[in-house]
Amino acid sequence: MLAEEKGARLEVVEIHETGDLIEADFQLKLKMKPKLVALLHVSNTLGTINDIKRLTRDAQEVGATVLVDGCQSVPHMEVDVQDIASDFYVFSGHKTYGPTGIGVLHGKKELLESMPPWRGGGEMIDTVSFEKGTTYAGVPHKFEAGTPHISGAIALGVALDWMRGVGIKAIGDHENTLGAQARQLLGKVDGLRFIGTSEDKTGVVSFVVDGVHPYDIGTLLDPMGIAVRTGHHCTQPLMDFYDIPGTVRASFGAYNTLQEVDALAAGVERAVRMLR
C-alpha cells in the first residue's frame, strides 16, 4: 500500500524451501540502496526466526530505515529493542494475551519527531491559529488523536506484566516443546508434510496433507474442540511459492498442554481418514 501511494518500487527478498531468507539475495537487494527495509522478526506462517539484529545492521549500513514486525516474536521470546536497534519495532496487543484494537509502535525519537501526524483530533495539537497555523504536540501525543483506547492500554500493560511474571523465556521453551511433540506425532500421518522447516523457528507448526484441502481439515477439527487456523495466513505470495492453496497452522501458547498436542495429532489423523 505504501509503495503504491508513494510510487515506490517494492523488492522482495527470496527464501529457501525451508523458509529461511536467501542471504545472497538479501545482500543483493541492499545494493539497490533501499529507503525502507521491512523485516519479520518471526514468520507468522512458518515460525522462522530471522537474525534480526544482523539484518537490521546490514540494512542501516546502506542508509535504509528499518521497520521490524515483532507480532510473532514478542509473545514467544525475549526481545531487546535497544539491542536490535531497528528504527521502528511494532507488535499487536492481542498476540501478547492482551485485548484487540491496540498495539505498540516503538521508534527512534528523532524519526518520530520528524513524522507528520496521521490523524487529527483532540490532544494532538499544541497551538491552533487561523493566522499563524497549527503546531503539534510532542511525541507520542501527536500520534494519539482524540480519546485513546484507555481500557485497552491498561489491559495490555497487565498482560505484559503477566508474561514477565511467568517468564517470557519459560513460555517460549514450553511452546517449543509442544511444537517438537506436534511435529513428531503429525509426521506419522500419511501424506502430511510440514511447510517451514527451518532449524531456527518457534513452536508454530504449519502443514498440508496430500489430496486434502486445509480448510476441510480445520472444519472437521472444530467440532472436536481443536482450534487451528487454515488458509493463506495473510501470506498469499508465500503460498504461491510453495504452490499450495494454504496450510493448517497450529499455534501453541502458554496455556496449551502435551495432552492437547496428542489430541491434535489424533484429530488430524481422524480427519484425514474421513476425507480420503
Burial of 165 (0-12, 13-18, 19+ CB in 10 A): exposed
Provide the pLDDT for residue 257. 98
In a domain, 274, yes or no: no
In a domain, 54, yes or no: yes
In a domain, 128, yes or no: no
Residue that is last in its domain, among 163, 198, 227: 163
Q: Which residues of 4-27 are buried (b: 16+ CB within 10 A; e: fewer)?
A: eeeeeeeeebebeeebbbeeeebe
What is the CA 164 to chain-centroid distance, rounded? 20
pLDDT for 115-138, tens place per residue?
A: 999 999 999 999 999 999 999 999
In a domain, 235, yes or no: yes
pLDDT for 83-102, tens place per residue?
A: 999 999 999 999 999 999 99
Among candidate residues 147, 188, 234, 255, the one labeled active-site is 234
Residues 157 and 217 in one domain: no
Is 234 marked active-site?
A: yes
Residue that is last in its domain, among 101, 133, 163: 163
pLDDT for 231-269, tens place per residue?
A: 999 999 999 999 999 999 999 999 999 999 999 999 999
pLDDT for 162-201, tens place per residue?
A: 999 999 999 999 999 999 999 999 999 999 999 999 999 9
217, 268 Cβ separation under 8 angstroms: yes
Residues 155 and 180 in one domain: no
Burial of 229 (0-12, 13-18, 19+ CB in 10 A): middle
Residues 84 and 104 in one domain: yes
CA–CA distance, 208 with 233 (Å, rounded to integer): 14
CATH of the domain at 58: 3.40.640.10
CATH of the domain at 176: 3.90.1150.10
Residues 159 and 173 in one domain: no
Residues 47 and 159 in one domain: yes
Residues 178 and 58 in one domain: no
Residues 180 and 235 in one domain: yes
DSSP 224: G
In a domain, 275, yes or no: no
- Which residue is it, cell 472444519? 219
DSSP class per residue in 50-73 = P-HHHHHHHHHHTT-EEEEE-TTT
Residues 101 and 11 in one domain: yes
Residues 172 and 260 in one domain: yes
pTM: 0.94
Helices 258-275 and 214-221 pack at an angle, to 10 degrees, of 120
Provide the pLDDT for residue 230. 98
Work out how many domains the chain is built from and give that number: 2
Nearest to 235 by CA among 221, 222, 247: 247
Residues 153 and 239 in one domain: no
Residues 97 and 29 in one domain: yes
Structural domain boundaries, residue 94: 2-117+149-163
Residues 25 and 155 in one domain: yes
Residue 180: CA atoms inside 13 Å, Cβ hemisphere, count?
Answer: 8
DSSP E strand boundaries for 188-239: 192-194, 205-209, 229-231
Nearest to 137 by CA among 123, 116, 121: 123
